[in-house]
Structure 1
Amino acid sequence: MTRENLLVDPLLTIDTPDGGQRQVSLPGLFAAMERGEVFAFPKLRPHQDHPWHAFLCQLAALALRDSHLPQARPGHPETWLGQHDEEGWRVLLRTLTSDFRDDEPWRLVVEDPAKPAFMQPPVEGSALAKQKPEDFWATPDDMDVLETAKRHGIKNALIDPGSLEHWVYALVSVQTQAPFGGSGHQASSRQNGAYGARSGVGIRLSQRVDMCWARDTRILLDHPDHWAACGIDYDFRHGLALVWLVPWNGETSLAPTRLHPWYIEISRLTRLKRTPAGLLHATYITASSTRVEAKETHGNVGDPWVPILKETTPKSYNSVPRYHKVCEVLFDDEKYVPSLMQMPAKIDGTGPMTVCFRFLSRGQSKTEGYHERHVPFGHAQSRFLGARKNLALEMSRSMIELASRVEQALYLAALKRMQAGRPVPDAKQPETSRWANRIRRDMDDEVNEHFFPRLWDCLERHEDGATLVDSVRPWLDWLASCARTRFALAGQSLPSSCTLGMFAQAQAEILLERKLSGIFNPQPLRRNAHGK
Structure 2
Amino acid sequence: MTTALRYSLLDEPLIGVRLADARRVHLSLPALFVALAEDGIRDFPALRPHQRHPWHAFLVQLAAIALHQAGRSEPFATQDEWKSALLALTPGDPDGAAWCLIAPPDRPALMQAPVPEGNLSDWKNTLQTPDELDMLVTSKNHDLKAARMKCSEPEDWLMALISLQTQEGFLGAGNYGISRMNGGFASRPAVGAMPVGGWGTRWARDVRRLLASRTEIVSRLELCEQSGVALVWLRPWNGADSLAFSALDPFYIEICRRIRLIETAEGISALATGSKAARIEAKSRNGVTGDVWMPVETAVGKALTISSKGFDYKLTSELLFGQKYRAPIAQTLTNEDGKQGIVMLARGVTRRKGKTEGYHERRVPISPKVRALMIKKSTDKLAKLAEGRVSDISKMRKVLWKALATLFANGTSAFNDNDSVTDKASRFAKAFEQGEDARFFEGRLGLNDQIEAEDPEAVRLAWYLDMAERAEDILRNAFEAGPRSGEQRYRARAAALGRFHGGLRKEFPTLAEYRDNDR
Bin of the TM-score, shorter chain as denominator length = over 0.9
Q: What is the match of residue 74 of structure 1?
A: none
Aligned-partner SS, 1:442? helix
Structure 2: distance between partners of 1:309 and 1:161: 43
SS where residue 271 of structure 1 aligns? strand
Offset of residue 321 of structure 1: 0.4
> Map of 1:142-157 to 2, 5 A cutoff?
142-150=132-140, 152-157=142-147
Q: 1:188 to 1:2 in 2, by over 3 A?
A: closer
Match of 1:503 among 474, 491, 502: 491
Distance 1:52 1:508 in 2: 51
Match of 1:123 in 2: 115
Q: How big is each residue's C-alpha offset from its partner over 1:96-144, in whole Å with a ceiling of 9 and x where there is no partner?
A: 0011022111111113x22111100012339967x343x1211001110
Distance 2:93 2:182 in 1: 34
Asked if 1 retains the 8 angstrom alpha-carbon contact of 2:193 and 2:330, the reply is yes
Partner of 2:516: none
What amino acid is the match of 1:287?
A: S
Partner of 1:105 in structure 2? 98
Q: Deviations over 1:150-197 (max 9, x none)?
A: 453421211136410000001100000002122211111111111111
Amino acid at match of 2:34: A
Alignment of 1:92 onto 2:80: no
Task: Give the aligned residue type for 1:311.
Answer: A
Query: Match of 1:121, as an amino acid?
Result: A
Answer with 97-106 or 258-267: which moved more: 97-106
Written as runs of structure 1 = structure 2, the 5 A alignment for 1:237-256 is 237-256=226-245
Aligned to 1:296: 284
Kindly tell me: are residues 253 and 2 of structure 1, through their superposed partners in 2, closer, same or farther at Cα, counting changes over 3 Å? closer
Distance 2:96 2:382 in 1: 51
TM-score, normalization: structure 1?
0.90
Give the direction of change, closer, same or farther, for the CA distance of 1:182–1:161 in structure 2 (3 Å limit): farther
Question: Alignment identity in percent?
Answer: 32
What's the offset of the Cα at 1:82?
4.2
Alpha carbons of structure 1 residues 185 and 466: separation in structure 2 relative to 1, 3 Å: closer
Cα distance per residue 1:240-277 (max 9 Å; x no partner): 000000011112111110000110000100101122x2
Q: Structure 1 62/483 Cα, relative in aligned 2: closer, same or farther at 3 Å?
A: same
Relative to structure 1, the CA distance from residue 396 to residue 412 in structure 2 (aligned partners, 3 Å threshold; closer, same or farther) is same
| Aligned counterpart for 1:431 among listed residues 404, 420, 424 | 420
Match of 1:223 in 2: 213
Greater mean deviation of Cα atoms: 281-290 or 81-90: 81-90
2-structure distance, mates of 1:13, 1:356? 24
1:305 aligns with 2:308: no
Change (3 A) 1:400 1:434: same
Alignment of 1:339-488 (within 5 A): 339-387=328-376, 388-420=378-410, 422=412, 424-453=413-442, 454-461=446-453, 464=454, 472-488=460-476
Residues in 2 aligned to 1:204 and 1:446: alpha-carbon distance in whole angstroms: 25
Name the SS for the 1:304 alignment partner: coil
Match of 1:517 among 499, 505, 511: 505
Note closer, same or farther for the CA distance 1:285–1:127 as it changes in structure 2 (3 Å cut).
Answer: farther
Q: CA deviation at 1:25?
A: 0.4
- CA deviations over 1:58-97 (Å, ceiling 9, x no partner): 0000000144556xxxxxxxxxx34421111000000000
Q: Which amino acid aligns with 1:211?
A: T
Deviates more, 1:156-165 or 1:189-198: 156-165
Deviation at 1:49, TM superposition (A): 0.3
Look up the match of 1:64: 67
Residues 47/495 of structure 1: CA separation in 2 closer, same or farther (3 Å cut): farther
- What does the per-residue CA deviation read over 1:369-428, in whole Å, with 9 as the maximum and x for residues that have no partner? 111100001334312423341111010111110100000111111110010263x24233
The Cα shift of 1:460 comes to 2.5
SS in 2 for 1:102: coil
Partner of 1:160: 150
- Alpha-carbon distance change, 427 to 359 in structure 1, aligned in 2, over 3 angstroms: farther
Of stretches 200-209 and 12-21 in structure 1, the one that deviates more from structure 2 is 200-209
Q: Does residue 177 in structure 1 map to residue 177 in structure 2? A: no
Q: What is the Cα deviation at residue 233 of structure 1?
A: 1.1
1:119–1:239 distance in 2 versus 1, CA, 3 Å: same
Q: Which amino acid aligns with 1:476?
A: Y
Matches of 1:158 and 1:144, distance apart in 2: 12
Could you tell me which residue of structure 2 aligns to residue 25 of structure 1?
28
Instruction: Tell me if the contact between 2:218 and 2:224 (Cα under 8 Å) persists in the aligned partners.
Output: no
After superposition, the Cα gap between the structure-2 partners of 1:354 and 1:466, relative to the gap in structure 1 and judged at 3 Å, is closer
Q: What is the letter of the counterpart of residue 361 of structure 1?
A: T
- Give the Cα separation in 1 of the matches to 2:385 and 2:30: 47
The structure-2 alpha-carbon separation of the partners of 1:244 and 1:211, relative to structure 1 and needing over 3 Å to count, comes to same
Provide the rounded CA distance (Å) in 2 between the counterparts of 1:192 and 1:327. Answer: 21
- Among candidates 213, 223, 237, match of residue 203 of structure 2: 213
Q: Does 1:190 align with 2:183?
A: no
The secondary structure found in structure 2 opposite 1:357 is strand
Structure 2: how far apart are the matches of 1:318 and 1:294? Answer: 20
Answer yes or no: is the 8 Å Cα contact 1:411–1:437 preserved in 2: yes
> Runs of 5+ in structure 1 lacking a partner?
71-80, 524-532
The 1:303–1:285 alpha-carbon spacing in structure 2 relative to 1, beyond 3 Å, is same
Amino acid paired to 1:449: A
The runs of 5 or more residues in structure 2 that have no matched partner are 512-519
Q: CA deviation at 1:288?
A: 2.0
Deviations 1:470-528 (A, max 9, x none): 552222222211111111111123455554111101001100110011122169xxxxx
**What corresponds to 1:527 in structure 2?**
none
Task: Name the CA shift for 1:466/1:265 in 2 (closer, same or farther; >3 Å).
Answer: closer
- Please report the TM-score for the alignment, with normalisation by the length of structure 2: 0.92
SS in structure 1 at match of 2:340: coil
